[in-house]
Amino acid sequence: MIITKSISRFARNTLDCLNYVRELKDLGIGIIFEKENINTLDAKGEVLLTILSSLAQDESRSISENCTWEIRRRFETGKHKMSTKRFLGYDTDENGKLVINRTQEPIVIRLY
């Protein structure tokens, strides 16, 4: 028995999900999806799995498209999004611009 959190964590698309479930089912291994409360060894499990995995696939595609749109929009407006938490030698000011961190400057000079 395999226990997984959700369909979207198990496979990236509907076809892969169904193929993996069928292969495991042929080997006598069932999968329980906790979030959706589906057991693949049940008779109704595969039908419900098909519907819900299609929804999960579409949601994943939508999130990806939204992220891509956001990145393109930032490029068009000239804004960047950069985390400086692990960025040695620089910080961001209140406007999001990179500024030199003077306390870390000697370390950066020594490294280079």
Task: Please provide the DSSP assignment of 51-93 as one string.
Answer: HHHHHHHHHHHHHHHHHHHHHHHHHHHT------TT-TTEEE-
- Partners of residue 87 on adjacent β-strands: none
Q: Based on the domain organization, do 111 and 71 belong to the same domain? A: no
Q: What is the pLDDT of residues 64-83, one digit of tens each?
A: 999 999 989 988 887 767 67
Residue 9 and residue 44 in one domain: yes
* Helix (H) / strand (E) containing 19: helix 14-26
List pLDDT tens digits, range 88-100: 888 888 877 888 8
Q: Which two tokens stand for residue 57?
A: 């696939």
Residue range of the domain that includes 107: 82-112
Q: What CATH number does the domain containing 56 carry?
A: 3.40.50.1390
Q: Which pLDDT belongs to residue 34?
A: 92
In angstroms, rounded to a whole number, what is the distance separating the alpha carbons of residues 11 and 60?
11
Q: How many domains are contained in the chain?
A: 2
- pTM (two decimals): 0.56
